[in-house]
Amino acid sequence: MKKALLSLLFFLIAIISSNAQASKSNLYKGTIDGKIAVTFFIKTEENPCTADLMYTSMYRYDKSGSWIQLNITQNTKNENQFALVEHGFTGVMILKKDETNFSGLWISSDSKKQLKVELKEAKMTKKETESYEAKMEKVNYENNDC
């Protein structure tokens, strides 16, 4: 009886582990217009319905304490290209990923300003990752709570 229960327990753990969604968080630091320092945080997860990747993200101007939530869409024809729309549609970024960096343009919502964006991946400790994830959850809650 104990062996059967133990086998069932291991079987259930194996099923739960295989269904667990892997996620990865990355921090990027760089500039907009070559002089405005920015920090980006992007979390990548598998979509539980389609197994495609989905992204949650935020960024801030380093001189500002407030974070801007980003809605990210990946180009289905070129997986290295992304459109990032600021919450409230205050701006859009069209970025290309190469290895561990992003580069592209930030475009104002009226399309009158276009500024160069350069981002490089930065290392994070586990504690920093948890802190950024908590900040992103708070920003998402503030922007989307009823």
pLDDT one-digit tens code per residue, 22-59:
789 999 999 999 999 999 999 998 888 887 888 999 99
Would you kindly state where each structural domain of the chain is located, as residue ranges?
Answer: 22-144
CA 116/CA 93 separation, integer angstroms: 9
Interacting residues of 55 by C-beta distance below 8 A, sequence separation 6+: 42, 43, 44, 45, 72, 74, 82
Q: What's the CATH fold of domain 22-144? A: Lipocalin (2.40.128)
pLDDT, mean over the chain: 87
Residue 129: other Cβ atoms inside 10 A: 16
| Helix (H), strand (E) counts: the chain | 2, 8
Prediction pTM value: 0.81
Alpha helices in the chain (DSSP H): 2-19, 126-144
